[in-house]
């Protein structure tokens, strides 16, 4: 009933491109798309060369050095190796004429994680050491005391800080992922701890990175809503970026909850936010665990996506933990219930639809076979009560169960998804395979088939013809098979009439039907099968009588489905359910 999903790679393509660069002196646009290092830097109509603008060159250099990704080319084109966000910075640097060849010697590194929200690389430098820093703008900015403007460093004023904050909020509001880049020159004998290095930084600028939504995601989101499934975005991006993306793909969220706000919420406040379908931004893995636990306590069935090692507890806790197949770690895959091979949100919704189809077909298979077995029981039991001779021989019962019924029942298992299958409310997890209505339907259909078979048997017994018993047994045997073959069309859909699902929409069932009917005709007319089945040939009038007995079961079934459909049209089914316990 709820899908908690990441944004990057799942809702979006995970093909990052630096589109905007903000420097303290000016804001630039970057042309080109994808990972091909082809494009230029522009300020209005003016083309900007990094060689002539040290501010831009230093920012691109920090983005390149504070990085563990690369881009490479093969016969299919350019692609990223490593984190796509870092690859976008590599591409931007290469557009500016920089590359990673001849990089200074690495001295130390402080890796990015969900707690730090920043990364620092310390390298050799002509003046000693230099620390290149990138990370979430709000995190990096609070560690900056200076900025680079016009090739010269100066103190970072309150006005400068406000300008940077308003810029990254504006870029995030446009749906761009924002990063701040900074650096610090250190003496060779400096202490290289996190707290000692990552302070008094010089702000170089901000980059806005575009990651376009997957084309199929908006439709998948609406399909999820129509199926009664809520979609919650849980992302590491800024709130403004997450809300802008949510609007583009059609999520209902109207507000975002940051990790700090989430940590300060009690369970009741968080439940209220979950009911509002708020977006959760800058979220740490432990917050995912809390969200899953509360949703399950509210009666929801929760699917959670994740790719990192720290996501494993939430994936394990969720009812359907879904790891990313392309970018997921082995730990995340091991903790999950399902691996998404293409990392695509639309595939999750496709899996939900396929799951509903398969569950429907299991119901059809079971109910059809139970109605057929009920018919055999009714016919045999009532015939015993009436004191008649054996209505069905053991070999005939085996033939019905193993040969004629089996093929059509299996073919029901490949019935296509019904129209409107994704417009139903989610099924309660503890809902039985057979509810009261389905049991009643099985008894009514099985009862009619059993009574029809018994009537055919006694009709021929009372005809007063010579060798009436073999003919009566053959008529009952063949009549029951024919009635069951007609009855199988009642179970092609549990809700929709044949005119709506299409008579020819399951060709395998039609083939199985024809083969079963043909085998039954062989059992009646082929001499060696006659001896094995103890049957006698039937006349055309006998077949006509059996058709007349079989026809009402389909007519009544179709009338029932039409009336059910009309009633469902009158009753407005809620778009989604809150509590399915």
Taking a C-beta distance cutoff of 8 angstroms, is the pair 134, 118 a contact?
yes
Angle in degrees, CA 64, 66, 68, rounded to 5: 85
Strands (E), 161-314: 177-186, 201-210, 230-233, 256-258, 279-281, 302-306
What's the token pair of residue 145?
Answer: 């005391």
What's the token pair of residue 189?
Answer: 């004998």
Q: Which residue has the tokens 């009588």?
A: 545
Taking a C-beta distance cutoff of 8 angstroms, is the pair 55, 25 a contact?
yes
Taking a C-beta distance cutoff of 8 angstroms, is the pair 69, 82 a contact?
yes
What's the token pair of residue 115?
Answer: 């707690």
Q: CA 179, CA 167: separation in Å to the nearest integer?
A: 11
Taking a C-beta distance cutoff of 8 angstroms, is the pair 37, 91 a contact?
yes
H or E element at residue 313: helix 312-317
Is residue 6 part of the annotated active site? The answer reads: yes
Angle in degrees, CA 390, 395, 400, rounded to 5: 100
H or E element at residue 97: none
Q: How far is CA 497 from CA 306, 442, 491, 562, in A?
A: 41, 17, 10, 6
Options 6, 311, 343, 360, the catalytic residue: 6
Taking a C-beta distance cutoff of 8 angstroms, is the pair 43, 388 a contact?
no
Taking a C-beta distance cutoff of 8 angstroms, is the pair 120, 110 a contact?
yes
* Distinct helix (H) and strand (E) counts, the chain: 21, 20
CA-wise closest residue to 369 among 395, 344, 400: 400
Q: Which residue has the tokens 């610090």?
A: 184
3-state secondary structure of 274: helix
- Quote the radius of gyration of the chain (alpha carbons, Å): 35
Q: CA 397, CA 190: separation in Å to the nearest integer?
A: 90
Q: CA 372, CA 483: separation in Å to the nearest integer?
A: 9
Angle formed by the axes of helices 217-226 and 345-385, to 10°?
40
Q: CA 267, CA 278: separation in Å to the nearest integer?
A: 15
What's the token pair of residue 524?
Answer: 């009646």
Query: Which residues are known to be catalytic?
Result: 6
């Amino acid at each position: 009933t709820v899908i908690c999903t990441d944004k990057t790679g799942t809702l979006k393509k995970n093909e990052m491109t630096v589109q905007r660069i903000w420097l303290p002196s000016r804001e630039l646009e970057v042309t080109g798309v994808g990972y091909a290092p082809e494009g230029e830097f522009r300020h209005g109509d003016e083309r900007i060369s990094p060689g002539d603008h040290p501010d831009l060159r230093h920012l691109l250099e920090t983005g390149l050095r504070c990085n563990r990704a690369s881009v490479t080319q093969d016969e299919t084109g350019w692609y990223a190796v490593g984190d796509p966000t870092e690859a976008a910075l590599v591409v931007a640097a290469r557009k500016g004429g920089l590359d990673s060849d001849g990089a200074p010697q690495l001295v130390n590194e402080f890796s990015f994680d969900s707690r730090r929200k920043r990364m620092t690389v310390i390298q050799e430098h002509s003046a000693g050491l230099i620390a290149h820093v990138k990370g979430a703008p709000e995190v990096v900015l609070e560690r900056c005391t200076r900025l680079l403007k016009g090739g010269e460093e100066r103190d970072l004023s309150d006005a400068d800080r406000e300008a940077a904050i308003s810029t990254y909020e504006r870029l995030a509001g446009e749906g761009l992922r924002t990063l701040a880049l900074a650096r610090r020159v250190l003496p060779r004998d400096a202490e290289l701890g996190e707290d000692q290095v990552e302070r008094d930084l010089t702000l170089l600028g901000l980059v806005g990175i575009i990651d376009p939504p997957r084309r199929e995601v908006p439709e998948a989101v609406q399909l999820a809503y129509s199926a009664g499934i809520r979609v919650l975005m849980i992302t590491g991006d800024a709130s403004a970026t997450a809300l802008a993306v949510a609007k583009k793909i059609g999520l209902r969220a109207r507000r975002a909850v940051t990790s700090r706000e989430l940590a300060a919420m009690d369970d009741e406040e968080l439940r209220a936010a979950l009911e509002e379908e708020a977006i959760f931004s800058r979220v740490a893995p432990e917050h995912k665990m809390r969200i899953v636990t509360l949703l399950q306590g509210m009666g929801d069935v929760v699917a959670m996506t994740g790719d990192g090692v720290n996501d494993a507890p939430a994936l394990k806790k969720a009812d359907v933990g879904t790891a990313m197949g392309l970018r997921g770690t082995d730990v995340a895959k091991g903790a999950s219930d399902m691996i998404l091979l293409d990392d695509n949100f639309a595939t999750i919704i496709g899996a939900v639809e396929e799951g509903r189809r398969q569950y429907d077909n299991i119901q059809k298979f079971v109910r059809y076979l139970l109605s057929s077995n009920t018919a055999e029981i009714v016919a045999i039991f009532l015939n015993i009560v009436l004191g008649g001779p054996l209505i069905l021989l053991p070999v005939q019962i085996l033939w019905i169960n193993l040969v004629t019924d089996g093929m059509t029942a299996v073919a029901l298992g490949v019935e296509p998804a019904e129209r409107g299958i994704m417009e139903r409310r989610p099924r309660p997890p503890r809902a039985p395979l057979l509810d009261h209505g389905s049991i009643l339907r099985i008894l009514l259909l099985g009862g009619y088939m059993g009574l029809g078979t018994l009537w055919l048997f006694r009709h021929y017994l009372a005809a007063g013809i010579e060798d009436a018993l073999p003919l009566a047994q053959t008529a009952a045997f063949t009549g029951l098979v024919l009635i069951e073959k007609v009855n199988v069309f009642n179970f092609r859909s549990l809700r929709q009439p044949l005119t709506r699902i299409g008579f020819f929409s399951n060709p395998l069932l039609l083939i199985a039907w024809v083969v079963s009917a043909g085998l039954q005709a062989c059992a009646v007319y082929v001499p060696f099968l006659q001896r094995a089945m103890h049957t006698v040939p039937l006349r055309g009038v006998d077949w006509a009588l059996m058709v007349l007995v079989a026809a009402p079961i389909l007519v009544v079934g179709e009338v029932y489905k039409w009336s059910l459909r009309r009633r469902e049209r009158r009753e407005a089914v809620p778009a989604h359910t809150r509590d399915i316990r």
